[in-house]
Amino acid sequence: MTYTTQLDAAKKKIITKEMKCVAEKEHMAPELLCEKIAAGRVVIPANIMHTSLSPEGVGEGLRTKINVNLGISKDCYNIDAEMKKVQVAVDMKAEAIMDLSNYGKTRAFREAVVNTAPCMIGSVPMYDCVGMLDKELKDITEDEFLKVIEQHAKDGVDFITVHVGLTRALAEKVKDSRRITHIVSRGGSLLFAWMLANNKENPLTSQFDQILDICEKYDVTLSLGDACRPGSIHDATDTLQIQELINLAALSQRAYAHNVQVMIEGPGHVAIDDIEANMLLEKRLCNHAPFYVLGPIVTDIAPGYDHITSAIGASIAASKGADFICYVTPAEHLRLPDLEDMKEGIIAAKIAAHVGDIAKGIPGAIERDHAMSRARFDLDWNTMFELAIDSEKPKAYRANSQPIEEDSCTMCGKMCSMRTVKKVLHGDDVNLM
């Protein structure tokens, strides 16, 4: 029996090699994974052109995955630096990389990323339109937008973000809204400008069926972008955001009927007490489709530390059902992240994902914490380093400040509680002098 996409195969109860690989990684029966894909609750982004891919699943009952954004820009056009970031992201075991390049001829870079990285690769074709077509935004035609999308699919990206929920009617409401930050989505702002300049409907929305044809042909997963995501906690969970989510829910069902896998993108900047409601809304409105969140960032006043404000929000989001976390770096809102910013963002996102997995009861998640606790009680430093999300920093801290007693650290020395209790339990003398 033949199939066109992972979703088509799952509907036909065909277990693909990608499903077998993901099931093994997730310690899940392939048959159960296949059922979840068939129900639209799990996706395996796996473009048929991405031959170096080691597939990952995103969705219900699976480990929370993280995505790393990178790419070339006009002000920081350095392909070598971005390729180094790609390798570091792969080495740090990020499950996905999104190429957000937005300047010049980006295809060579995109192809290099696809050929280099075994993780899922995503892109936002909207960012590439001006450079690829050598045309001003307002002069691009509907068919030309499709041309760029198909090129990205041919180049092997596993998922693409398309801001199809921002309709012309919703764009008019944005103009009159009481939002502080209006539209902070880059792709959404470009489409907003195009619609108003051309007095037409969103070209991605009006040509959604043609986009589905392209995605089915290459098995590209759609990540339905939230053009109206809040860029400030003031704007969170307002009528613009919810109306767009309702639009995306309807479009996700059209994609499902077309055998195209779908994720839904979510906020954004959200006050901490609103996060659970946002997760619930997406799951109920969008038939439990995988939810891909940027943060959420829980306060607007910590520039330079938004990897922390994001990790706080992402931990709660993941614990309440978010399936995929887009990392945020300390450079958010300030500049293109450098390599160290990227590393900090990845670690923060991995911590948040793991916190969420503990709450969701993902097999093996809490066991790792228990193993760390045992290693701490045993004062087994090497095992602690092996179990740590980031082993480099704790190793460096330990090496930088050596204690007199090996079974302690320079914080407590011989007064280490673990050392004292172990000696008592083993019947040894507790000598602190």
Annotated binding site: 69, 98, 127, 163, 185-187, 226-229, 265, 269, 292, 333, 409, 412, 416
- Could you give the CA distance from residue 232 to residue 62 in angstroms, rounded to a whole number? 30
Q: What is the DSSP string of 336-393?
A: ---HHHHHHHHHHHHHHHHHHHHHHT-TTHHHHHHHHHHHHHTT-HHHHHHHSS-SHH
Residue 135 DSSP class: S
Q: Is the peptide bond before 296 cis (omega within 30 degrees of 0)?
A: yes
3-state secondary structure of 159: strand
**Angstrom distance (rounded) from CA 24 to CA 17:** 11
- Burial of 354-386, coded b for 16+ CB within 10 Å and e otherwise, reads bbbbbbbebeebeeeeeebeebeeebebeebbe
Contact between 230 and 187 under an 8 Å Cβ cutoff? The reply is no
Using only C-alpha atoms, the chain has a radius of gyration, in whole angstroms, of: 23
CA distance 349 to 345: 6
CA 104, CA 73: separation in Å to the nearest integer?
8
Binding site for [4Fe-4S] cluster: what residues are annotated?
409, 412, 416
Euclidean distance between CA atoms 316 and 272, whole angstroms: 8
Binding site for substrate: which residues?
69, 98, 127, 163, 185-187, 226-229, 265, 292
Could you give the CA distance from residue 131 to residue 222 in angstroms, rounded to a whole number?
Answer: 22
SS3 state of residue 125: helix
Q: Which residues contact 263 (CB under 8 A, 6 or more apart)?
A: 43, 58, 159, 221, 222, 223, 224, 289, 290, 291, 292, 323, 324
Quickly count: other Cβ atoms within 10 Å of residue 291's Cβ: 26
Of the chain, the end-to-end C-alpha distance in Å amounts to 76
Residues annotated within the binding site for Zn(2+) are 269, 333
Which helix (H) or strand (E) is 43 found in, with range?
Answer: strand 42-43
